[in-house]
Amino acid sequence: MTVAALQAAHGWPREAIRIVTVTTSGDRIQDRALAEIGGKALWTKELDRALLDGEIDCAVHSMKDVETIRPETIAIAAMLLRAAVEDRLIGAPSIAALPQGAVIGTSSPRRAAQLKALRPDLGTTLLRGNVATRLARVEAGDIDATLLAAAGLDRLGLADIGVAIPAETMLPAVAQGAVGIECRADDERARSLLAAIDHAATTRCVHAERALLLALGGSCHSPIAALAREVGVDIHLRAQILSEDGAEQVHDEAMLPAGDPVAAMALGARLLDRASPALRALFAG
């Protein structure tokens, strides 16, 4: 997608761009939750090293896997047009249709907490691996269902798989559906070339969500959901924090000036102010 965007923006032939495949720790380690083995850096550290060592000129990321605080030597130079933000349920026509006590496979604390908030009877179990692996576990009956990002399924040509869960029912992860491209902060040529493929509205919304996340101090342990959308010249930001068992949840929303991270952070602070001491402790930790 990034290659195609650069070709279209600059009129380059395909051979002008080389794709370097980097296998990350997150790809290799599939039997444990991310929070147990290093968090989101498992998806970025190898790409960061290749970028800073000059092996690559830019790195392409799923933005929901990128840490909130990035090295000063690396810049988020562009984001592509955001894809579908919803999750899709695989294995049942709806959350309500899941059988009593059904077991849902997921590696996401957010999804697990949201499911339990909607259906306290549901159980969850760790499920990692690529899409094919996860779908196979449902097909084999090892688990009753799973949730996957609609954007990933669409990009893999699996748009007909699963049932979309509206964002009004389950707010997505911060930056879900967004692809970001980073380069070295001092590489002005790369920054200029990448600026030509930046989808400004996506960038503004994702940065608002990431500012909220920064204020919450969330980690891979923390069930956090957020979604920003442009409304005229402003941004409507909705957010939710939950206890791990879904028993406590706090929602809030605000209209923010575009490009104002302080306003987005204020919404995060307001969520924590309304949370119980136990829920605040989850984010502080």
> CA 167 to CA 184: how far, in whole Å?
34
pLDDT per residue as tens digits for the range 22-45: 987 655 555 555 555 555 567 788
Q: To which residue do tokens 């990448």 refer?
A: 194
Q: Which residues of the chain have pLDDT under 70?
A: 25-41, 218-221, 284-285
> CA 145 to CA 139: how far, in whole Å?
9
Q: Residue 126: which residues within 8 A CB-CB, separation 6 or more?
A: 32, 33, 105, 106, 107
Q: Residue 216: its pLDDT value, please?
A: 93
Q: For the stretch 209-229, what's the b/e string if a residue is b when 16 or more beta carbons lie within 10 angstroms of its beta carbon?
A: bbbbbbbbebbbebbbbbbbe
> CA 175 to CA 255: how far, in whole Å?
18
Q: Residue 222: its pLDDT value, please?
A: 84
Q: Residue 220: its pLDDT value, please?
A: 57
Q: To which residue do tokens 């380069």 refer?
A: 183
- Stated as kind and residue range, the H or E segment containing 104 is strand 103-105
Q: Residue 170: its pLDDT value, please?
A: 97
Are 71 and 85 in contact, with CB atoms under 8 Å apart?
no
Q: Residue 219: its pLDDT value, please?
A: 58
Q: Residue 179: which residues within 8 A CB-CB, separation 6 or more?
A: 1, 2, 60, 61, 62, 63, 79, 80, 83
pLDDT per residue as tens digits for the range 263-279: 999 999 999 999 999 99
> CA 100 to CA 27: how far, in whole Å?
33
Q: Residue 128: its pLDDT value, please?
A: 79
Q: Residue 276: its pLDDT value, please?
A: 96
Q: Residue 20: which residues within 8 A CB-CB, separation 6 or more?
A: 50, 55, 56
Q: Residue 130: its pLDDT value, please?
A: 85
> CA 98 to CA 69: how far, in whole Å?
38
Terminal CA-to-CA distance of the chain, rounded, Å?
37
Indicate which residues carry an active-site annotation.
Answer: 65
pTM above 0.75, yes or no: yes
Q: Residue 285: its pLDDT value, please?
A: 52
Q: Residue 36: its pLDDT value, please?
A: 52
